[in-house]
Chain A
Amino acid sequence: MGISRGQRAPHLAAAAGDAGVIWAGLFALGIGFGVLTTGYGFAWWVAPVLSAALFAGSVEFILVGMLAAGAPIGAIVLTTFLVNSRHLFYGLTFPLHRVTGRLGKAYSVFALCDEAYALTTAKDPAALSSRRILWTQAGLHASWALGALAGGLVGSTLLAGLEGMDFVLTALFTVLTVDAVRESRDWTTLGLAIGTAVAAQAFVPGSMLLAAMGAFTAALVVRHRLARRRAKGEPGLGEPDAVGRAAVEPSPEALEAAHRA
């Protein structure tokens, strides 16, 4: 027993050292979600149940408003799909091969939120143990659900009249945008996203998010084709465009083999 505790603690400590501040942030955001949810007239337990079962913060903030308005299931499915479609790209580079056991892998996939992806892929996969990855994700999951529980309980009594708590969502996406632009310096993508968002707000304000995501994806299809055409039209000029760079990047399998070696 002493041995198992000795083995477990270092992984938890390592996960807390990296992710502790994000756990605290998710707990605070969870309180905001709980307060927002009770503000829509839901019982105190709805926010923690949503957060524990779905564990997808950004779409939960949107869905709770749709649920309060009794939106059709089809609209909820479509919104969840569009908002969470970015998760399709996380699995390509997430170090799931470092997680051992069928249950562990299943939980790791279930709990693959933005923060889990960002915190885990920021590390060298070879330096990550299975338990460290799982503790990181479990800490995020528990913080978010417990925050929602606290917000649901306290919000329904003390904070019912508080205005502006949903601003945590605005702040979250603004911070993520600033981080993504600072990381990639990709002003073209930012311009396309803001442009399609403004156009969608102007022409279809009722379903701005869906229209903007659709138009943005369509613009990326055109952008990709133009990049390929340029690459084919100028063979040998050696200007490394997006497609060329993608082909040069090592595949996940090659990385995995390198780390195992």
Chain B
Amino acid sequence: MPDPGYLLTALAAAVAITVGLRALPFLMVGFLRDSAFLADLGRWMPLGAVAILAASCVFAIDLGGHGRGIPEIAGLAATVGAHLWRRNAVVSIAAGTGVCLVLANAVPLP
């Protein structure tokens, strides 16, 4: 485990950045409201950000390691399937993760 001083410094930096990002628009709400570019960015960025994060997770699936990526790919299919069917985020996440966990730990795969 890294030393506590490093952890504390890193955590303080991350908290400062996060709180700053959350507080800034409230301080600048009058200025930002008139910016057409930020209006566009506010509409496009949330979808783009989660899509890029999802893509980074998919790219991180290790096709050469234990299970050959089968648990993750099956979990992904279960997540999307459950979400298109039930539209309940918690159910979809639980279903996908459950499939992935069972396949990764309880089923012998190549």
Contact = CB atoms under 8 A, between A and B. Distances in A.
Contacts of A87: 18, 21-22
Interface stretch (A125-133, A145-153, A246-254): A246-254
Interface string B69-110: 001100110011001100011101110110011011100000
Q: How large is the interface on B (under 10, 10 to 19, 20 to 34, 35 or more residues)?
A: 35 or more
Interface residues of A, number: 95
Contacts of A25: 89-90, 93-94
Contacts, number: 260
A109 B26 contact: yes
Nearest to B84: A178
A176 interface: yes
Nearest to A247: B36
A184 B48 CA distance: 12
B63 interface: no
B33 to A, nearest CB: 6
B25 A91 contact: yes
Interface of B: 1-2, 6-7, 9-11, 13-15, 17-19, 21-26, 29, 32-33, 36-59, 66-67, 71-72, 75-76, 79-80, 83-84, 88-90, 92-94, 96-97, 100-101, 103-105
19 contacts: A25-B94, A55-B18, A63-B10, A70-B2, A91-B24, A109-B23, A161-B105, A168-B93, A171-B96, A172-B93, A173-B51, A173-B54, A179-B83, A184-B43, A189-B51, A223-B44, A224-B36, A246-B36, A247-B36
A24 B90 contact: yes
A201 B13 CA distance: 27
B50 A180 contact: yes
Contacts of B105: 161-164
